[in-house]
Amino acid sequence: DARVTQTPRHKVTEMGQEVTMRCQPILGHNTVFWYRQTMMQGLELLAYFRNRAPLDDSGMPKDRFSAEMPDATLATLKIQPSEPRDSAVYFCASGLTSGASSSYNEQFFGPGTRLTVL
């Protein structure tokens, strides 16, 4: 049963510390998304990649957040330094798209990383 995996599932850290979240997309999927979910803002897209190339990171605070795909099986989201306002659930999702406007498939979400910054 193919699914997106995320590690860690929970992370508690202190303000100023570096946080790295990892995602393994479904094998064969070529598009990876990072979302943040909070009560106040709902579900926000932070960044996404197609074929490992970053296509859009406009939703991400550039000064402290960075997202990468070292290879097709791993996506990372890093926060350095972390702040209490970064506390949220971070979701990774993957999908298979051709880029053509006429072709679009659904995204599959991982279980999320619940981050608490004290």
Partner 1 sequence: AQSVAQPEDQVNVAEGNPLTVKCTYSVSGNPYLFWYVQYPNRGLQFLLKYITGDNLVKGSYGFEAEFNKSQTSFHLKKPSALVSDSALYFCAVRVYNTDKLIFGTGTRLQVFP
Sole binder of partner 1 in the list 15, 17, 38, 56 (CB under 8 A): 56
Closest alpha carbon to 32 in 43, 22, 42: 22
Least Å from the CB of residue 48 to partner 1: 6
Binding part of the chain for partner 1, among 16-24, 65-73, 75-83, 97-105 by CB under 8 A, reads 97-105
Sole binder of partner 1 in the list 11, 112, 115, 117 (CB under 8 A): 112
The CA distance from 111 to 61, in Å, is: 23
The CA distance from 33 to 56, in Å, is: 10
Binding part of the chain for partner 1, among 11-19, 60-68, 71-79, 109-117 by CB under 8 A, reads 109-117
Q: For residue 29, what are its two tokens? A: 């999927």
Pairing between β-strand 42-50 and β-strand 5-7 as defined by DSSP bridges: unpaired
The CA distance from 69 to 47, in Å, is: 11
Nearer Cβ to partner 1, position 50 or 64? 50
- Find tokens 């004290």 and name the residue: 118
**Binding residues vs partner 1 (CB under 8 A):** 4, 31, 33, 42-43, 45, 48, 50, 55-56, 91, 93, 95, 97, 99, 101, 104, 106-112
